[in-house]
Chain A
Amino acid sequence: MSDSYIELSNITVKRSGRIILNVDNFKAASSGEFINLIGTNGAGKTTLLCVCCGLIKPSTGTVKINGIDLASLGSWQKVDIRKAIGYVPQAAEYNAELPFTVREVAAMGRTSAKPMCAALNREDYEIIDSWLETLELTNQKNQTFRSLSGGERQKVLIARAMAQKPKVLMLDEPGANLDFKWKRRILDCIEKLHQRTAITILLISHDIDFLPHNADRTVLMHDGRILADGKVKEIFESDVFRKVYGCKFKVSDSGGRYTPVF
């Protein structure tokens, strides 16, 4: 058993001859590490996430999940290893127009947690309902997913991911298209989740005001590379950050919140 749950080394990903991801070394610990991945649009954040969960096969380099090299696995086993990954995708990745109820969407978290073809039983629904309760969705559980607002949908997707009982939770821009109030709520929700469960979290965001207070590391990406990896304050005040974002910020820490100050 290795102490890093995800381990990438010497990864490159090519798309139409161009290198879009070039990461020498990236690790996420299995012991509840909270990593906040930031960077501008097109920095390679989502690509990195897809490599981590095995959706994109890198051109070179090795991906290890829980100490197992993905290249050594057959395609069926490669799928099985992803059962430990909880995933909250961007809105373009799911069909929000179907009349699934909130509870049905949350129940989809049990799909890969159970063997193929096995029906969900009462135990599964207890897990699902307890996550809906944790995320304060109990009152809405019989409403349709499509009738909810963007922020509420995001909470349902988080409940869905957690119902799977993942070891790693990956969130891809959970604050995208949300107003300031909802952004804060979703961020709160993710922070509480981390405190409560101590699972490893990989959070992607290009919003620099979407900064989780209890993130252990902030990783700054640009042009497919990892430029900095450390504490949020150091990164925001670094020269590298200024090069990437074109300006420098100070991070004020008030009221249990990080706020970037221009």
Chain B
Amino acid sequence: MDPFFYLVILAGAIAGASTGLLGVYIVGMRMPFIGTCISHAAMAGSIFAVLLGQDPMTGAIAASVLASLSLGANRPHKSRVETNVGLAIIFSLMLGLTFLGIGLIQDARTEVLGLMWGSILFVRKESVVVIAAMAIILIIFTMIFNKELKLLMFSRSIAAATGMHDTFVYCSFLVVCGLILAVNLKTIGGLMIFSLITNPAAAAYQVCRGHRAVVITATLLGAGTAVIGFLISFYLGLPTGACIVIVSTMAFGLAVIYRRLKGILD
């Protein structure tokens, strides 16, 4: 097997693991749409960077951090804009900007559309290093802010009322979230990232007891489903992104069945 094969597997495993881990907090905070929202911001950012003759990655990172922070600036209690409504508004704006950008770009449309579907098969060594580094940053972040993130997921009201710096932790988390999504955009694509964030975490929440179990299960499931999806697509000659999404959804389905069966057997 040629080394390209292992590089793709490595990239898929890292991307799957980091989005799986991120998903634990995103699903726990009940805002799974943040995946599509920020990844479309990243897409819009990279398209406009291309239009301005800049590096697409810089544009993606800048736009997704900006989108994360504007979500962080919304305080649902005060503004009466529920987080998911805020997400929907920013998401549709970003989608609009993305299509505006696509309309403005004349020659490199396929490259831009690649951002939507991702192109894990064309992954380069340098981008694997970048996503690995970002994955490590995410792991360190979740370890350092472990107790704060748990309380934030359980109840932001309790966090705020009892003297936790909830806005600071929430915004820091959103920035990390934006960074992870931006660097993984090219490999797994803006649309697929949504299922990689939501499915492993949702499956883990079905079957696990305790936060640590959820974190470990979602991370492994994320990596596992990405790799299995890639292998299936490779050997059957099917589109990679689609295979990964389907495998990841099946993992969630199995988790639901497992929980039902366990409920019956208990």
Contacts and interface: CB of A to CB of B under 8 A. Distances in A.
Interface of A: 50, 53, 55, 76, 79-87, 89, 93-95, 97-101, 104-105, 107-108, 110-112, 114, 116-117, 119-120, 142-144, 160-161, 164, 166, 170
Given A95-B28, A98-B205, A83 B155 contact: no
A95 B161 contact: no
A108 B210 contact: no
Contacts of B161: 50, 53, 55, 82, 85, 87, 89, 170
Contacts of A79: 163-165
Interface in B150-193: 150-151, 153-155, 157-165, 169
Given A104-B211, A108-B150, 12 more contacts: A55-B77, A87-B161, A93-B155, A95-B28, A98-B205, A99-B213, A101-B210, A108-B151, A111-B147, A111-B164, A114-B147, A116-B148
Interface residues of B, number: 30
Contact of A111 (B28, B148, B210): B148
Main SS at interface, chain B: helix
Nearest to B210: A101
A96 B159 CA distance: 15
Interface string B50-86: 0000000000000000000000000001000000000
A108 B163 contact: no
A85 B159 CA distance: 11
A95 B153 contact: yes
Nearest to A160: B158
Interface in B6-54: 28, 30
A94 B162 contact: no
Contacts of A161: 162
B262 interface: no
Given A98-B205, A100-B150, A112 B163 contact: yes
A89 B211 contact: no
Q: Which 10 A-B pairs have the closest CB atoms?
A: A83-B163, A82-B163, A94-B155, A87-B161, A93-B157, A112-B163, A112-B164, A111-B151, A108-B151, A111-B147
B157 A94 contact: yes
B28, B150, B161, B213, most chain A CB atoms within 10 A: B161
Given A94-B155, A95-B154, A104-B210, A86 B162 contact: yes
A82 B162 contact: yes
Contacts of B209: 99, 101, 142-144
Given A93-B157, A100-B154, A85 B162 contact: yes
Contacts of A143: 209
B144 interface: yes
Given A83-B163, A85-B163, A111-B164, A94 B158 contact: yes
Contact of A98 (B28, B158, B169): B28
14 contacts: A81-B163, A84-B163, A85-B161, A89-B155, A94-B154, A104-B210, A107-B147, A108-B158, A116-B164, A116-B165, A116-B169, A144-B209, A161-B162, A170-B161
Nearest to B213: A99
A80 B148 CA distance: 14
A187 to B, nearest CB: 22
A53 B157 CA distance: 11
B154 A99 contact: no
Interface in B202-229: 205, 208-211, 213-214
